[in-house]
Structures are given as C-alpha cells and as structure tokens.
Amino acid sequence: MTEERRRFQRITFDADCEIRTDDCSWPVQLIDISFQGALTSVILTPLLHTGDAAELVIRLSNDTVIRMPVILRHQLGEYLGFEAQTMDIDSITHLRRLVELNLGSEELLERELVHLSAN
C-alpha cells in the first residue's frame, strides 16, 4: 500500500518488545507502530504463519505496557507485519498517547482516531 493510501501514520519507535503465543514467546525489535498494527524484526523467526494470532507486548517503561492482540499479515525475511486487533482500554490509551506525542499535532491525532472508529 502506498503512503498516499495509508490512513494511519506509522510511528518509528524503539522499545523492548516480544511476541507471545499460547506456548512460546520471542523477543522482537519494533520498527514502527500505528493504530492499525506494527512492523517488527526478529533474530530467530518465530513459528508463526500468516493468519496466526499472537500478542505483541511493548514495554514503554517498567510499569507501562501496551498489549496488542495481533494477527500476522505478512513476513519477509526477518520482518513481520502484524495487524492490530481490539486492545484493552489501558493499552489503547498508552498507544494513543504515544501516537499523539510523535505526531505533534492534535489535528493529525483526531484524523487518526476518526479512521480508527470507521474500521
């Protein structure tokens, strides 16, 4: 999808992250994040296939964590692209604040939230 067609701004962000499934977890590096999902890279490829559900856990600080239920949508080498699913209120609040701080514009944030509610 080209940048012109994107409805959600991607935020480049570095944080301690891991992908969790029912039986395993793998450390991942967060490349970027949006309300729609996240792009990560991995050293050891997890045993995930396109369409598999998992949880992306993003540690913003010792007591601030975003828990994003995700579905693996694409994998290219070490890069894994995840689509966000419905998050708990605390996680979406932390993500909203992260996006707000990185966009630097209340107008851009409001546009993102309108697109999010339209999905």
List pLDDT tens digits, range 79-100: 999 999 999 999 998 988 887 7
Domains of the chain: 3-118 (2.40.10.220)
Residue 33 has which token pair? 């994040």
pTM exceeds 0.85, yes or no: no
Looking at residues 26-31, what average pLDDT do you find? 93
31-45, 62-76, 96-110, range with greatest mean pLDDT: 62-76
Looking at residues 8-36, what average pLDDT do you find? 86
CB atoms within 10 A of CB 37: 21
Nearest to 36 by CA among 77, 65, 68: 68
